[in-house]
Amino acid sequence: MKVAIIKYNSGNIQSVKFALNRIGIEPILTDSLEEIQSADKVIFPGVGEASGAMKYLNEKGLNKIIPNLKQPLLGICLGMQLMCKYSEEGNTNCLNIFTQKVFRFSPFSLGRAGPGSKIPQIGWNNIFNLKTKLFEGIAENEYQYFVHSYYVELGDCAIATTNYITEYSSALQKDNFYGVQFHPEKSAKAGEQILKNFIEL
């Protein structure tokens, strides 16, 4: 099986590669349009800033390729946010695979965490309202590891929810496109199971 990790001006790509190595997958890291299109599975990870990342994707032509892929694709953290319609981070138009928008956490939002919650969210939080085979074998309210200042609003594509200051989409799915806000590569056995589930889709 050929698994491609999209390489762009983003952090955290090597840790995803090492996580896949732990489950017996040797992926390729590439920004080649041909290699990405010919892969069996594609992973679109990222830690960084939305406008700079989109600028790189646009310059490489990846903005035209990614939304038209037919094989399963998994966006992680910034990767998932870039798959949305728009991000407040840098006032950025994104790939518009998902119709949801990306907003910055506000410590004054009326959520369970309440005023004064730290931004970014860094650490373990639970995921619930789990849907699709991506979460097969994952219990409701399982914990995953998060690092982010921006979140994806709830909507029809949400397949997992998390509460931090406000409830938001911690995973999305539309057709062959999947996204997770958390870092499965840093989330111990539960995260490893999610990566296995994606590879087996």
> Which of the residues are catalytic?
77, 183, 185
Give the gyration radius of the chain's Cα atoms. Answer: 16
Do the Cβ atoms of 198 and 44 come closer than 8 Å? Answer: no
Q: What is the DSSP string of the chain?
A: --EEEEPSS-B-HHHHHHHHHHTT---EEE--HHHHHH-SEEEE--BS-HHHHHHHHHHHTHHHHGGG--S-EEEETHHHHHTSSEETTTTEE---SS--EEEE--TTS-SSS-TT--SSEEEEEEEBS--SGGGTTPPTTEEEEEEESEEEPP-TTEEEEEEESEEEEEEEEETTEEEESS-GGGSHHHHHHHHHHHHT-
Residue 10 carries which side chain, given as an amino acid letter? S
